[in-house]
Structure 1
Amino acid sequence: MHSLVLLPPNALTLSDKLVCDVKQRTRPSRVNSTTTFIDARGSEANTGVSAAATALPSVPELIARNDSPPPGSRPVCLSSDQKTANKVIASIKAANHPIGIELQNAVVAEALRKKIRHRERCRVNQARYRKRKHKSQADVQNGIARLWDEIKDLQSRCNDLSGVSASRTPWGVAGDYFRHFNYFLAHARSQYASKFFHDIMAPYVVDGSPSGGDTQIETWRCFALYFGDVHVELPGMKMPSEDTLVASTITMVTVTRNTLRYAFPHLNSDGDAGTQGGDWSPIAGRILGQRLVVHGSVLFGWDNTSNKVVRFQAQADLLTPMLKLLGNLEDVSFIFSKALITPDCKFV
């Protein structure tokens, strides 16, 4: 009885031939302990598995799959791509759990895809930077060209100012007058202005009292000294008669410390523009730095025989902008009470 313990119950019915014909069953291995890898040149290190079945695609092939090159062009395989593939493969080799060939392909391909995207972004950014740099250089060159054109234009105007008026008509002389006026205010030079007045004005010009070119130059000099940022615009001209031209003017000036010192010295408590150490009145502080827009007119009396100006009269309404600025007649009256400039913009 004990001799049959290790035998199956039906051992007597199983012949030796039947037992020998049975094949032994074994569980197949899920993970192959040997895996094929590629180096940077696409060569294989086969450890026992068929190379045709497990070989990774070469680096250029993976790049071609993910870089989408233009038709007819070859995928670019850089040394950095090979280094990236080597690095990924080395990480796979160092893993405790080897992975299959398809997953290896996916890992390497994804690494190359990220590398290619990064390289493409860098290429686009560099192209944009070069484009901005080239545009900046072009803008500088264009700006230099414009400045040279402006310099030539200003030089031409300067040369024109030194010459005789090209248009000996009332309209041309009036236009030249205001052009010279603005130039004088910007440069405070009288050499061109003196020649201009000598060319267009008769030796004896009437302006309420005998006057001439020197008187007009002195008026211009007072404007440049008393006020800041003086600019005269000419909105229109008309000829009420054949020997009279009237030009409407808009003069813009800024009240500066020179304005207080030379035009309104009485606004200081010492009555002498602060030369004795006095204090300025609050009204002076209210008008200091303000921009005034003064409307006026200039009358040119024309002599058709000599083609020169024989009568000249200019007036401007300084009272209205001062009243608008101060808001009451009492302060305006106080400002002009001892001022060295009149409400109609005459210098005392």
Structure 2
Amino acid sequence: MRKYLSGSVVQARFSAEEARREELRRQRSRQHQETHKRKKRQVLTGLQSSIRVLRDEIRELETRHSSVWEVASEFFQHFQDGVKSVETQHSTAKDAEQRSFMWRVMAPDVTDGAVTGVEALLEAWRFVSQCFLHMDMKPVKLQNPAAHVLVAYTEGTVTIDEETLRLAFPHLVQHKRGSPLAAMLVGQQLVVHGSVQFEWDDARRLVTGVRWEMDLLTPLLELFGRLEDVSRVFEGALLTPDCRLSTGQAC
């Protein structure tokens, strides 16, 4: 014999089931909200962390950029006209300023790829400077080709006299074959382009490499008009076409 439930009982059971389902929906909603909030917190935390890292990187780059660019700017204040012989009180004072600057910003083992050390660099640059009656170099463009490298591109002039031939191109005055070329060179003011490359050490906050070059080849080719004559100028010269000491030559 079937038992029939009264309407009130059925209604009560239905209400209880609805209440249970509603509670489940609320629980799922709370879980969903908690999951959503947790993900938002994770995203926010990750974003804040990324921002901190980015700010640190920006500060590091700004510090590095500021430091090496300041060094480059000060370098040209001291070395725009090269390194002269210590002969007068003025040149002695300038020599002291140049040396002080170099020891302040350069690592003890700084190199140009050929010589190492502050004093060796100064002597090499002094020889190159003495080879010309007048030298004037100005930076025209700065570039960062790599993270720790700054290249200053330069433009300027050098003036050639008899002392230039004696020091840099002695073979032109020692042999009659070179006399016509020597005569053409004396008194010339060459417009030269070059570069100074600085390599920066973040850990030591010092310059570890500095390579100074000037293109002598192009203006001499314009002067003589023949590559054969330019080749003869540098054959046995104490300066290379990029205005550096020839390999094996002492300062």
The residue number in structure 2 matching 1:171 is: 69
Structure with the greater alpha carbon radius of gyration: 1
Q: Report Cα offsets for 1:190-235 as digits up to 9, x if no partner.
A: 2111111110111112322451211221133123311012101110
Instruction: Return the alpha-carbon distance in structure 1 between the equivalents of residues 177 and 162 of structure 2.
Output: 13
- Aligned AA for 1:204? D
The residue number in structure 2 matching 1:312 is: 210
The residue number in structure 2 matching 1:302 is: 200
- Aligned AA for 2:221? L
Q: Report Cα offsets for 1:174-196 as digits up to 9, x if no partner.
A: 11111110265575442111111
Please report the TM-score for the alignment, with normalisation by the length of structure 1.
Answer: 0.47
Q: Gapped runs of 5+ residues in structure 2?
A: 1-64, 85-89, 247-251
Question: 1:305 offset after TM fit, Å?
Answer: 1.9
CA RMSD of aligned residues (A): 2.2
Question: 1:299 offset after TM fit, Å?
Answer: 1.0
Matches within 5 A, 1:145-164: none
User: Is contact 2:81–2:136 with CA below 8 Å preserved after alignment?
Assistant: no
The residue number in structure 2 matching 1:281 is: 179
Question: 1:303 offset after TM fit, Å?
Answer: 1.1
Instruction: Return the alpha-carbon distance in structure 2 between the equivalents of residues 183 and 341 of structure 1.
Output: 18
Instruction: Return the alpha-carbon distance in structure 2 between the equivalents of residues 315 and 207 of structure 1.
Output: 10
User: Is contact 2:156–2:191 with CA below 8 Å preserved after alignment?
Assistant: yes
SS in 2 for 1:245: strand
* Larger helix fraction of residues: 2
Matches within 5 A, 1:134-149: none
Instruction: Return the alpha-carbon distance in structure 2 between the equivalents of residues 173 and 331 of structure 1.
Output: 39
Instruction: Return the alpha-carbon distance in structure 2 between the equivalents of residues 280 and 316 of structure 1.
Output: 23
1:204 to 109, 117, 125: 109
The residue number in structure 1 matching 2:171 is: 266
The residue number in structure 1 matching 2:124 is: 219
The residue number in structure 1 matching 2:133 is: 228
SS in 1 for 2:70: helix
Q: How many residues align?
A: 175
Instruction: Return the alpha-carbon distance in structure 2 between the equivalents of residues 342 and 229 of structure 1.
Output: 18
Instruction: Return the alpha-carbon distance in structure 1 between the equivalents of residues 74 and 130 of structure 2.
Output: 22
Matches within 5 A, 1:47-66: none
> 2:241 matched to 1:347?
no
Percentage identity across paired residues of the two chains: 40
SS in 2 for 1:323: helix
- Aligned AA for 2:145? P
Q: Return closer, same or farther for 1:280/1:317 CA change in 2, 3 Å cut-off.
A: closer
Q: Report Cα offsets for 1:286-317 as digits up to 9, x if no partner.
A: 11101111111111111112211012222221
Q: Return closer, same or farther for 1:316/1:224 CA change in 2, 3 Å cut-off.
A: closer
Please report the TM-score for the alignment, with normalisation by the length of structure 2.
Answer: 0.64
Q: Return closer, same or farther for 1:301/1:218 CA change in 2, 3 Å cut-off.
A: same
Q: Return closer, same or farther for 1:258/1:210 CA change in 2, 3 Å cut-off.
A: closer
Instruction: Return the alpha-carbon distance in structure 2 between the equivalents of residues 251 and 226 of structure 1.
Output: 15
Instruction: Return the alpha-carbon distance in structure 2 between the equivalents of residues 221 and 308 of structure 1.
Output: 22
The residue number in structure 1 matching 2:49 is: none
Instruction: Return the alpha-carbon distance in structure 1 between the equivalents of residues 69 and 167 of structure 2.
Output: 34
Matches within 5 A, 1:316-327: 316-327=214-225
Matches within 5 A, 1:8-27: none
Segment of structure 1 superposing worse, 280-289 or 256-265: 280-289
Q: Return closer, same or farther for 1:322/1:175 CA change in 2, 3 Å cut-off.
A: same
Q: Gapped runs of 5+ residues in structure 1?
A: 1-166, 272-277
User: Is contact 1:204–1:210 with CA below 8 Å preserved after alignment?
Assistant: no
In the TM superposition, structure 1's runs of 4+ consecutive aligned residues that sit over 6 Å from their partners are: none
> 2:235 matched to 1:337?
yes
